[in-house]
Structure 1
Amino acid sequence: MSEIKSGLYYSKEHEWVEKLDGNKVRIGITHFAQNQLGDIVFVELPSEGDEIHAGDSTGSVESVKTVSDIYSPVSGIVIAVNSELDDSPELVNSDPYGKGWMFEVELNSEDSLAGLMNADEYREFTDGEE
């Protein structure tokens, strides 16, 4: 069974969003997503300063099974990327909500979080998919 953390926002593309200070958020892929992908061997992330839009592909995750796009669940400017994933992409498998985070965004507006699911909604969304 996939771990779903309360207090986070979730997208239908299986990304999570954690609210940080002010209008900043941290983004990664969910436990469910990393479990479906299998052993992750490479992560391509956006660059700091990139302007991204909700629903756009912002990078990719390569596993032994497949390559999958990372879709931004929010709109804004990328303010940080997790460079640890360059040398240790397996952190996405071992700690998807912690050390396996992918990038941080300064939101264009608080409304960026409006279309995302809470933990209970995401749990219901993924129940039929496991």
Structure 2
Amino acid sequence: MDGFSYNNIFDTKGIEYLVIIAFLLLLIPFWLLLNRKLKFREHFSRMLGALTSNVLRIPQGIFYSSNHTWTFMEKSGIARIGLDDLLVHITGGVKIHHLRNEEEMVRKGDLIAKIEGNGKSLLIYSPVSGKILKQNTELNTNAELLTSDPYGKGWIYNIKPSDWIGEIPSFYLSSDATSWQKRELDRYRDFLATNISRYLPGSPLTVLQDGGELINGSLSELPEGMWNDFQKEFMELRE
């Protein structure tokens, strides 16, 4: 048997199997990451949908603030405040946490509430100065009123104003309010296009800048970082 050599094919096959397994171990995380990005992009592609300025509820006789809160002055001199329709269309279903108690004094711009959705939150600042008279505690058990009836049963607080005349000039009224809401919707589209490219590089969603329509709740599944950016861009009071 001199000169005869024997190669165990199972030894070489074993090496090949190990190489294949190692390749799969490297491939699977990459595939999961790629699949997650594809699902993310599919979600944003569905943003082209139903929200336009034509479907926004903008009741007349209401004072609108730059942080997307509203104020209604009742005949009794008591101000009722809440969240405007554009904001609740953008956020979708959220829960609210009242951060001020009855009889507390607040100044315009003070933190009064927080809304939460999908583990992310936005801070709500008071559009008026005055004394908190009442919380809308019904929202604790029926949070959907914020979106279904934002100017009615979805109100947040009743406040007795302390500087109503001085603060009136900062509000949007009537046709000015309608024009402002349209501008805000356009600004939100630009916000999406700019920030999605930051959080999801290579996304084709820049079409949002071309006047595409948006589905309700488009912000709801976006990353927390975009909620933080939205807070800075849209939820601050401006004089």
Instruction: Mark the runs of 5 or more structure 1 residues left unpaired by the alignment.
Output: none
Q: Does 1:125 align with 2:193?
A: no
Aligned residues: 129
Provide the residue aligned with 1:56 in structure 2: 110
User: In the TM superposition, what are the counterparts of 1:39-54 in structure 2 within 5 Å?
Assistant: 39-40=93-94, 42-45=95-98, 46-54=100-108
Provide the residue aligned with 1:115 in structure 2: 170
Structure 2 residue identity aligned to 1:43: I
Q: Does 1:104 align with 2:128?
A: no
If asked which structure has higher relative contact order (CA below 8 Å, sep 6+), I would say 1
Shift, 1:12, TM fit: 0.4
Give the distance between the partners of 1:128 and 1:18, measured in 2 at CA.
Answer: 22
Bigger CA drift: 64-73 or 74-83?
64-73
Note if contact 2:129-2:164 (Cα within 8 Å) is conserved in structure 1. Answer: no
Q: Which has the higher strand share?
A: 1
Q: Which has the higher helix share?
A: 2
Structure 2 residue identity aligned to 1:115: S
Q: Does 1:14 align with 2:14?
A: no
Give the distance between the partners of 1:52 and 1:67, measured in 2 at CA.
Answer: 21
**Percent of counterpart pairs with the same letter?**
27
Structure 2 residue identity aligned to 1:14: H
Instruction: Mark the runs of 5 or more structure 2 residues left unpaired by the alignment.
Output: 1-54, 186-239
Provide the residue aligned with 2:46 in structure 1: none
Tell me the TM-score normalised to structure 1 length: 0.91
Give the distance between the partners of 1:113 and 1:63, measured in 2 at CA.
Answer: 31
Give the distance between the partners of 1:53 and 1:9, measured in 2 at CA.
Answer: 17
Change (3 A) 1:2 1:66: farther
Structure 2 residue identity aligned to 1:123: T
Note if contact 2:80-2:156 (Cα within 8 Å) is conserved in structure 1. Answer: yes
Shift, 1:66, TM fit: 3.2
Give the distance between the partners of 1:57 and 1:37, measured in 2 at CA.
Answer: 19
Bigger CA drift: 51-60 or 73-82?
51-60
Give the distance between the partners of 1:65 and 1:124, measured in 2 at CA.
Answer: 32
